[in-house]
Amino acid sequence: MIEKIMYHEGKIEKHDRGYLASYLCQDKTGQWQAQTDLGPRMVATIEEAMAAIDRANAERDYANRVLDTDGEGIAPGVLADLLISDGYIGESGRDWHTPTTRETERAIEKAMVIENKTRDEIIAIISQPGRGVRWCESPNFYYDHSYGLIGRKRTATPPEMVRCTCGHTVPRTQVMQASTGTACPDCYDDMSD
């Protein structure tokens, strides 16, 4: 008979041969249980199993913490706007995705080495729209000498709007010069002689 003991967001199973420790964590498949750093190996004492759960919880909490720089940290909106690439340039260009907190932390640490900047300087750069830093060499670095990048998405600037002689307001790039003044694309034929 297997006895189950709940301990600090974890579960310890007492078997005839020893103790098996696991902690509660939702993985990508939706399962709510994961092994500790002991893996499937059983330990002799319950204290060893408890220590493994404590280590697993500490690692999970470290991975899920909010990135913090002297109490300021990265604003949640900025964290959601970050994009990361491993530097590989395929047929359709670079592959960008939104990084997890753990990926962001790892990229910041590696960027500090590559860019020779402090953590605060790296965070200040990637917090600005359209800016980024190198954080790793691409998988094909030997051939293409490119780097993986992490940065914030660019924000589109709204176009400058102008009022035409025809009375419509359109982006400046769409204004057309007609013989009777300026016109939008819809009115150009009517205003030309």
pLDDT of residue 130: 83
Mean pLDDT, 10 residues at a time, over the chain (193 residues)?
Answer: 74 80 64 64 80 75 53 62 81 80 84 88 85 86 82 82 91 90 87 73
pLDDT of residue 70: 44
Based on the number of CB atoms within 10 Å of its own CB, is 59 exposed (0-12), middle (13-18) or buried (19 or more)?
A: middle
Q: Name the residue with tokens 């939008």.
A: 184
Residue 8's H or E segment, with its range, is none
pTM of the model: 0.47
pLDDT of residue 92: 78
Query: Shortest CA distance to 132 belongs to which of 99, 102, 157?
Result: 99
Alpha-carbon distance 62 to 154, whole Å? 29
Assign 3-state DSSP to the chain and report helix, strand, coil percentages, each to 5: 30, 25, 45
pLDDT of residue 74: 66
Which residue spans within the chain are E strands per DSSP? Answer: 3-7, 10-14, 19-23, 34-35, 82-84, 89-90, 93-94, 132-137, 147-152, 161-163, 169-171, 176-178, 181-183
Domain ranges in the chain?
3-64, 76-152, 161-191
SS3 category, 54: helix
pLDDT of residue 69: 43
pLDDT of residue 27: 54
Amino acid at 67: L
